[in-house]
Structure 1
Amino acid sequence: MVSVGEFVRLKRKRLGVTQVTLADKAGVGLRFLRELEMGKPSLQMDKVNQVLMLFGAELGPVPLNRERILNAQG
């Protein structure tokens, strides 16, 4: 499974878009985009979604494996 930052970086590179151009199109700062691609653990979800929307994606809850959770608790 790829991280959100890896997803954005891979999509951007496949499209041949620079970080400057993507940040401008998404309406976020260049520093924010760089931090996103580098995997900074705490970023504003609304800004992350601004970037992801350009690729037809958005953040959302991902169900965890319930069995794995129960085994870890017991």
Structure 2
Amino acid sequence: MKDIAEFVRDRRKALGMTQPELAEKAGTGLRFIRDLEQGKKTLRMDKVNQVLALFGFVLAPVSPEREA
């Protein structure tokens, strides 16, 4: 299963976008995109959702049984 960092990086690259382009389109800073793609453990969920929304996704709760 992919983590969010890998998911965002793969989606961005599949669309041929650079990190600065993603930051601009998502309305976040470049530093945030870099932190997100590097798997920083503490990030603002609202900003993560801004990025994920560009790909048609949002953060949502998942039951532990579903992850197994």
TM-score range, shorter chain: over 0.9
Match of 1:62 in 2: 62
The one-letter code sitting in structure 1 at the alignment partner of 2:60 is G
* Superposition pairs of residues 43-54 of structure 1, within 5 angstroms: 43-54=43-54
Q: TM-score, structure 2 length as denominator?
A: 0.94
Is there any run of 5+ residues in structure 1 with no aligned partner, and where?
Answer: 69-74
The one-letter code sitting in structure 2 at the alignment partner of 1:47 is K
Q: CA deviation at 1:57?
A: 0.2
Separation (CA, whole Å) in 2 of partners of 1:44 and 1:35:
11
Q: CA deviation at 1:55?
A: 0.1
The one-letter code sitting in structure 1 at the alignment partner of 2:30 is L
The aligned length equals 67
Q: CA deviation at 1:21?
A: 0.3
Q: CA deviation at 1:15?
A: 0.7
Larger Rg computed on CA atoms? 1
* Superposition pairs of residues 3-42 of structure 1, within 5 angstroms: 3-42=3-42
Residue identity over aligned pairs, in percent, reads: 61
Q: TM-score, structure 1 length as denominator?
A: 0.87
Q: CA deviation at 1:27?
A: 0.3
Q: CA deviation at 1:65?
A: 1.7
